[in-house]
Structure 1
Amino acid sequence: MTGVPVTIARRPRLVEPQLEPSPGDPIVDKHGRVHRDLRISLTDKCSLRCTYCMPAEGVEWLAKASILSTEQIVRIARIAAASGITTFRLTGGEPLLRPDVVEVVRRISELRGPDGPVQVAMTTNGIRLPQMLPDLIDAGLDRLNISIDTIRRERFAALTRRDKLDEVLIGIRAAQNSSLRPLKLNAVAMRGVNDDEIVELVEFAMEHDAQLRFIEQMPLDAGHTWDRAQMVTREEILESLSARFTLEPVPGRGGAPAERWTLDGGPHTVGVIASVTAPFCGNCDRLRLTADGQLRNCLFSTSEYDLMPILRAEAAGSGDSGAAADSAASAAATDLAIDGLLRSCIHNKLPGHAINDPSFLQPARGMNAIGG
């Protein structure tokens, strides 16, 4: 399919008084939350068409010319790392569809922040893992999450609109046999779809030395068909698990999105990400970068901060002078502008996502275009 630019209402570029912090200082919002996690979407394309994420046909892909280059991604990551971002999670769409994904991992993994080397994680559907995992680990990948909502063949094909369960299972086995730990499996719990598989999915994860993390279904589908009544809640998930396992809360959650419980005394655990019924906004430390260069301070934000004018302005001016000093000054000014936009984006972060407020508006973008 030919790439078609996605139209989205952009937030006007805010002209604000210079914030007190300067490059190298922690990135803190006005509610005191220190940000340490940047989620980078490498592409909006995916090899599956999950019903809660994308329509079956007619997906408007981002134009190829709008996608950030590896140089641009690494530059933004370098600036973020210098100000205390310690974890970079690569997402999509499906990140393994990006041809230079191994190079992206390699170059980000080489970055260092004030506290030392950064961590590089990835969320994937696992389909291309068997052939790519050795190179990804060699490049410096530290952690891996694999999405799998069902282990029943016909249900998988209906849910993802693709008959690729075997490929995903082979990918999970490859991850199980790797050095990457903890290995996490993500499942969106859906009423009448896979809510009868909750215990089965946990037992499957245990067999593969992985932690299952259930995710409450969120209003992030491209078709805007989300229905709260179809969402399986945190309490329902825990009730189903309690019928089979003895659950004990794991303390020390910090800013992690998942609450965790040990299963039958351990060592296995299960997690629940309850963004709708038990929001964890008060401890959120995440910032997002879309594949087309938009900063988002919340998964559910209806506004974005556009890095592309900053990057394009430097590129447009690069031919004005061949002097090395001018080039260095231009690069330094661009770095400063990128850092400033990162800080403006986080400074204006709201205290919560307001899903449970009657005035809540679903983001215009679907999850594949925002980044998981």
Structure 2
Amino acid sequence: MKDSCNRTIDYIRISVTDRCNLRCLYCMPEEGIAPLRHEDILTYQEIVRICEASARLGIRKVKVTGGEPLVRKDIEVLIKELAQIPGIEDVTMTTNGCLLKEKAAELKAAGLSSVNVSLDTLDPQRFARITRRDSFDSVMEGIKSAQAAGLKVKINCAVMEDLTKEEVLAFARFSMERKIPVRFIEMMPIGQGKNYKAMENDDLAGILSEAFGALKESRKVKGNGPAVYYTWGDETGFIGFISAVSHKFCRTCNRVRLTSDGFLKLCLDSPAGVDIKGPLREGISDDGLFDLMNQTIRNKPESHHFEEDQGETGPNMNQIGG
């Protein structure tokens, strides 16, 4: 479908929980956040209905997120149902990878095509500082299991100011050795993320080109989002940049988000959207749900305003849907 800015909206990110087994510095305070009550989050049946309406609207790609989606019981059951919806062409997931070793084969069998694993460092000690948990080995085992199961794997690295040149190069070598694309994601001023600044992606590119030679844009790596991928030399490694703040991509934004408590959110940097859980539980028809989502998505904001002072910290990413 098209919104009022003539953008094709074909991608929905669905948060299935606000709970997480890590406490990353830029995402949650150390003490955590009081989680939603179980009855306040969408049921799998409600999520499937929303995705069926989404498919009628022309949405073709679904990303399952959290919080941490793998902490929700029987998540593979939901994946299977989503993958079977007529019109949905790709179901993927973003995860911290801690539980991926146990779940990878089931997720692949259910119809999941790929996982994006959030991993901000390859240094176990720095990992423990960032996540406030000692789970580095579990994440690495999860990545291996995902590849062995036949899932496509990408790494998401949230760029914080203390990311060193050595770590940037370590991720490049990791990409070359494991044949896994690594995406550097610019820190966004959302929730706890407002407390951190990021190394500019242009500086990251400079570090890579100095070590490996001139970078060249690559179209070999495809995704559902805004990452621009680069490679070098013999093209064994791939680095992606997602620069929502310094290089706005709003004019090509193709996504909406569904929070775990049923709010259809049109932009990370806007309150625009509509509650869907209420109408669902009040008995809205399938056609009524289609109309509600259609009218709402058409009014997707033209742009975010991360470059402006946002004032208060606001909700954290685990509450919005990462």
How far apart are 1:292 and its partner, in Å? 0.4
How far apart are 1:259 and its partner, in Å? 0.8
TM superposition score normalised by structure 1: 0.82
Give the one of 246, 257, 267 matched to 1:277: 246
Q: 1:314-353 counterparts in 2 under 5 A?
A: 314=283, 334-353=285-304
TM superposition score normalised by structure 2: 0.94
Q: Deviations over 1:143-171 (max 9, x none)?
A: 11111001111111111000110101111
**In structure 2, what is the equivalent of residue 264 of structure 1?**
233
**Contact in 2 for aligned 1:157/1:164 (Cα 8 Å):** yes
Runs of 5+ consecutive residues of structure 2 not aligned to the other structure = none
- Specify the SS of the correspondent of 1:34: coil
Give the one of 84, 94, 100 matched to 2:68: 94
**Match for 1:199: what amino acid?**
L
**Contact in 1 for aligned 2:175/2:238 (Cα 8 Å):** no
Q: Does 1:63 align with 2:32?
A: no
**Contact in 2 for aligned 1:90/1:120 (Cα 8 Å):** yes
Cα distance change, pair 76–185 in 1 and its aligned pair in 2 (3 A)? same
Q: Does 1:307 align with 2:257?
A: no
Q: Which moved more, 1:246-255 or 1:61-70?
A: 246-255
**In structure 2, what is the equivalent of residue 184 of structure 1?**
154
Q: Which moved more, 1:344-353 or 1:362-371?
A: 362-371
Q: Which has the larger radius of gyration?
A: 1
Cα distance change, pair 188–58 in 1 and its aligned pair in 2 (3 A)? closer
**Contact in 1 for aligned 2:186/2:243 (Cα 8 Å):** yes
CA–CA separation in structure 1 for the residues paired with 2:66 and 2:164: 23
CA–CA separation in structure 1 for the residues paired with 2:164 and 2:279: 45
How far apart are 1:265 and its partner, in Å? 4.0
How far apart are 1:344 and its partner, in Å? 2.6
Q: 1:199-214 counterparts in 2 under 5 A?
A: 199-214=169-184
Identity of aligned residues (%): 36
How far apart are 1:34 and its partner, in Å? 1.1
How far apart are 1:302 and its partner, in Å? 2.5
The RMSD of aligned alpha carbons is 1.9
Q: Does 1:250 align with 2:218?
A: yes
**Contact in 2 for aligned 1:302/1:364 (Cα 8 Å):** no
**Match for 1:220: what amino acid?**
I
How far apart are 1:363 and its partner, in Å? 7.3
How far apart are 1:256 and its partner, in Å? 3.2
Q: Which moved more, 1:245-254 or 1:68-77?
A: 245-254
Q: Deviations over 1:150-198 (max 9, x none)?
A: 11111111110001101011111112223123x2001011112455411
CA–CA separation in structure 2 for the residues paired with 1:173 and 1:62: 32
**In structure 2, what is the equivalent of residue 170 of structure 1?**
141
CA–CA separation in structure 2 for the residues paired with 1:345 and 1:162: 39
**In structure 2, what is the equivalent of residue 85 of structure 1?**
59
Q: Does 1:135 align with 2:106?
A: yes
CA–CA separation in structure 1 for the residues paired with 2:292 and 2:164: 41
How far apart are 1:267 and its partner, in Å? 4.0
**Contact in 2 for aligned 1:39/1:90 (Cα 8 Å):** yes
CA–CA separation in structure 1 for the residues paired with 2:224 and 2:89: 17
Q: 1:117-156 counterparts in 2 under 5 A?
A: 117-156=88-127
